[in-house]
Amino acid sequence: MFCLCMNCGVSLSAEIKYTEPEVKEARFDTADVNLLKVDRDKLASSVAAYVVNSVKDGADAAAMEKARKLLGFALHLSPRNRDAVIANFQFKKGLAKRKIQPEYSPVTLAEVLQSRAMFLIKNGGNLNVDLAGYMLFVAVQVDSTNETAIYELEMYRKDIGAIDWSSLLGEVTKAKGSK
């Protein structure tokens, strides 16, 4: 078994890297969004706390991509949010993450995100509807048992379209030779 790894050249100790989301201009940190700044900041802190407290050291690529999406979302809600900025920095540098005392449990956070998303959709406007899609996605990531959020996300995808993460995260440069 040892020689298999030697022959294929794959290192089992290869570390999965966190790619920082590109947040040049926070998309949802504006008065055009029907959420108060204090609410955006509270949601950003709650999402950052969820990420820090749920992503374990040595996480796989899927967990790191989920962390990237959720922290990117948090930073677009509130780019100066202390918890989101610190969490992003710690993930980027591969540092030990300090646990954050969440204001909401994951179940409650998902419910809040889902209900606010529905409020934004009812208010209309491109920015509100776009934010609602991200909120529904994050709600399902935080609590995959929230059937209402799952249903609303699927209806959002059917009626409006897929969630475009490149607009929140920036383009990820791929290594040479990868597809």
pLDDT (tens digit per residue) in 37-81: 999 999 999 999 999 999 887 778 888 899 999 999 999 999 999
SS (H, E, C) 26-85: CCCCCCCCCCCHHHHHHHHHHHHHHHHHHCCCCCCHHHHHHHHHHHHHHHHHCCCCHHHH
Closest CA to 168 of 39, 71, 51, 90: 71
Average pLDDT over all residues of the chain: 85
pLDDT digits (tens, 9 = 90+) for 108-144: 999 999 999 999 999 999 999 999 999 999 999 999 9
pTM > 0.85: yes or no: no
